[in-house]
Amino acid sequence: MQILHFDIKPHNILLDENFNPKISDFGLAKLYPVDNSIVPLTAARGTMGYIAPELFYKNIGGVSYKADVYSFGMLLMEMASRRKNFSTIAQHSSQDYFPLWAYDQYSEGNDLLEMGNVTEEEKIMIKKMVMTAFWCIQMKPSDRPSMDKVIQMLGGDVENLKLPPKPFLNQQEMPGVDIQGSLNPKSSDGEITWSLSAR
């Protein structure tokens, strides 16, 4: 069996006494067989800003472990940039969505951050994190790497990392893709979660 967590985010990563990260809060998790690559779901689950697009849009790919790859990519982006990747009060435009802004900065050859007193080694690690995150947050699950590949990317040489296609903010930006449902926000404990209902 495998676990699909559905809620990888900073609040659910804890550190043990040796500062080793541990994933917590398996309330939204789903068990599924290793040989079953697609998981049937009736509603989107997770925290806004970390939810994979296939949980909302049925025709870009089935729900699989790649949903957690997407969430991990958003987590990497947030860690590298030291800022939230998505504002829950934003108007859902590309200007308010940090990964798209960061992608534009990288593709134009600009530094992502004013890094101050950061060593060259730290700059390389930040670049690896951001480049890996760009691959992890691709709209289509089939375009995202496996977690084994993510580990290789983070541990490998930064020169081997290529800039992926620009990640889309939503399905309207993707050519030839139709939305298959509507989003209904729900708020609890200061966080907004979303559920998908059929039209």
108 Cβ partners below 8 Å, 6+ apart? none
Tokens of 186: 């729900």
Residues marked active site are found at 7
